[in-house]
Chain A
Amino acid sequence: MAIYLDHAATTPMVDAAIAAMTAQMAQLGNPSSLHAPGRASRKAIEQARESLALHIGCVPSEIIFTASGTEANNTALKGLYWKGKSVGRNVIVISAIEHHAILDPAQWLAEHEGAEIVSIGVTSNGVLDFSQLEQLLKDRADEIAVISVMHSNNETGALQPITEIVALASAHSIPVHSDAVQSFKKVPLSFSTLGLTALSLSAHKIGGPLGIGILVLKRGLEIPALLHGGGQEREIRSGTLNAPAIVGCAAAADGDYPGEHVREMRNLLAQGIVHVIPDAYINGASETLPGIVNATFPGTESDTLLLLLDAQGIAASTGSACSAGVQRPSHVLLAMGHSDKSARSSLRFSLGSTTSTSDVTSVLNALPGVIERARAANLR
């Protein structure tokens, strides 16, 4: 029986989402059409939007459907940057531990659109170094077009001080975007309470389908679009709306995430890891997502660990891979002060609603043998 501990990559679709999506797939009608079938599709989408707005803590019109979390991040970051640039602000502030869906568009804006990136470091726990941000705003607030800091980190689960960042930024009228793809439904999250300008979410991380993301963008705020066409979604994201995926997303968001159970499993795994592998250690803050354990196993290489675990039916993950598929040391762990070597010796286990005690026990039973082999195979 396979043990899936990569829920942060994607998690099983919930039955309600599959059912809602399947039913919607049989429904004829382009949601932009004015006739009866069109209106029926449109109605399903708007119901989903309203339902999602309740879960997100925003008004329905603030929801812009995209094709992925990556697209939501790109739309927000580029749009807010261009808006700022038009009034002479060209600095993009990000954290050093952002997902590539923020790092890479920021880099692109620097290379092609005249942006200057200021990357704020993190503590050894993987939490934004707030004093760096404070100092930056003291010195250069009027140059900053946008601040983008993730709500929680996808590799360590560390929660970031978004409330404090928004408070600081709002004093200078700087828009703040947050990539909350990992946080949605896992920890309390409210767009209005946080006071954000923009927020990115993704359906397949919460049991919804692949191929649907959400950009929450403050009501009344206009930003330049990436996709031009039929004018859907406030003319910020043209393209025929993906009704089945949208209703699937809303159905998934209606479900309850068993946060306490997942956290219990996480703690069991984290404590078990340092027990069965005495020199292993857990990376990340005390305030984390319920389901992520990032562990370093000194003397190993993560790609060897993955292969050996996979051979025993255990799915875990490492940082990102390059275009050729080669594992790279995680930029997140490097930013936390890891060496290249220790970053390459680290694995992420991410747990979800389907994770059971027996899953955790099986992993803990397999680990000593896997680590021993991996250490023997580490010939560098």
Chain B
Amino acid sequence: MRLIAAMSGGVDSAVAAARAVEAGHEVIGVHLALSSNPQKYRSGARGCCTVEDSHDARRAADVVGIPFYIWDMAEEFHEGVVENFLSEYAAGRTPNPCLRCNEKIKFAAVLDRARAMGFDGVVTGHYATTKDGPMGKTLHRAIDNSKDQSYVLSVLTVEQIQGAIFPLGDTEKVDIRKEAAARGLSVANKPDSHDICFVPSGDNAGWLHDRLGSEVGPIVDQEGTIIGKHKGAYTYTIGQRKGLGLTVPTPDGSPRFVLKTQPKTNTVVVGAREDLAITKMYGENPVWCGPAVTSTPTQGFVQIRAHGQPLPCTYFYDGEKLIAHLESELLGLATGQAMVIYDDDRVVGSATVCETQA
């Protein structure tokens, strides 16, 4: 096949490109420039879109022996990921930008462009696997559970999965580093990227304050009594305990947690730990990674964080929302997060959490 390898400048995508070449594919390396002003974003080893990273990607392509280009996706990234991140926070939800980036950039803008240019698919260094079976090509977890990235890939449609190649899913991360060293890739020991690549300082709350303002609002208990102040409801996440700065203790001295945020009134509602408990979640804008989920309740698992535990559940689709009923209570689930349904290790699909119930 003729493939585009998306090369971030990190060790995973470098080894993925090398493996694709070894498998006999014709591969061209592409580094995505996601910031129109690279210095503005995170610098140093933890970033994913600095000048240094594009240099590392280029040198990896040299070692692998493939042509290398830089594609300017700054505009698409800003519109599809950064602006979405801001508007979701402004609306009181907690978004996952990595998921949006996969959905809108890597497997949309890049894959579409690659296909139009005559390529068959996109190779990335994500830790996930695909399998060909009776359901066609399906998306599955990586064998390295601690590195599994199937959660952030759960926004891929069947069509996009067709064009996605994940050469690393069958290997443990530690072995990928060894392999990179053996292949002479200088990024073998480069630290993994963490956090949100477009927040330079790693200080999400500060970054949001700079862009969304710091309007003071009330922190209230469930009865509506004002017990504190905050500087922007959008910086609080459901289930959050730290950073509330409350001086009025609860009668029994137990800690308070954020139960919900109300962006329209800029209010943060807090309460006891047990008030966070939910057993039902509802998701909008579902994406199916294989056969569509039906209205028939089905046993499976739902995962609500990138490296969270799969929670046993019954799931179904009511024609509008993806609904999961948990077997056990869950404490604290923010809207805006992705709920990803698994059938064993297969990714069934995902949706954006819009509502929860006790």
Contacts and interface: CB of A to CB of B under 8 A. Distances in A.
Q: Which of B70, B71, B72, B109 lies at the interface centre, i.e. has the most chain A CB atoms within 10 A of its CB?
A: B72
Interface string B151-169: 0000000000000000000
A334 B29 CA distance: 30
Contact of B116 (A310, A321, A377): A377
B70 A324 contact: yes
Nearest to A380: B75
Contacts of A373: 116-118
B109 A379 contact: yes
Interface residues of B, number: 23
Given A311-B67, A323-B38, A377 B33 contact: no
Interface stretch (A63-71, A240-248, A300-308, A354-362): A300-308
Contact of A324 (B28, B38, B67): B38
B67 A310 contact: yes
A278 interface: no
Contacts of A374: 117
Interface residues of A, number: 19
A323 B35 CA distance: 12
Interface string A289-305: 00000000000000110
Interface string B229-242: 00000000000000
Interface string A311-326: 1000000000101111
Nearest to A376: B116
B51 interface: yes
A22 B67 CA distance: 32
B71 A303 contact: yes
B288 interface: no
B8 interface: no
A303 B36 CA distance: 16
A327 interface: yes
B109 A325 contact: no
B69 A324 contact: no
Contact of B51 (A304, A324, A379, A380): A324
**Chain A interface SS verdict (over half):** helix
Contact of A325 (B33, B36, B113): B33
Contacts of B33: 324-326
B116 A379 contact: yes
A379 B67 contact: no
Nearest to A377: B116
B256 interface: no
Contacts of B284: none
Contacts of B116: 373, 376-377, 379
A355 B99 CA distance: 49
A120 to B, nearest CB: 28
A324 B32 CA distance: 10
A308 B116 CA distance: 11
B150 interface: no
A4 to B, nearest CB: 16
B96 interface: no
Contacts of B50: 324
Interface of A: 303-304, 306-308, 310-311, 321, 323-327, 373-374, 376-377, 379-380
5 contacts: A306-B69, A307-B117, A324-B51, A325-B70, A326-B70
Given A325-B54, A326-B70, A377-B113, 11 more contacts: A303-B69, A303-B70, A304-B117, A310-B67, A323-B51, A324-B38, A324-B50, A325-B31, A327-B70, A377-B114, A379-B112
The 9 closest A-B pairs by CB, nearest first: A377-B116, A376-B116, A325-B70, A326-B33, A326-B72, A324-B38, A377-B117, A377-B113, A324-B51
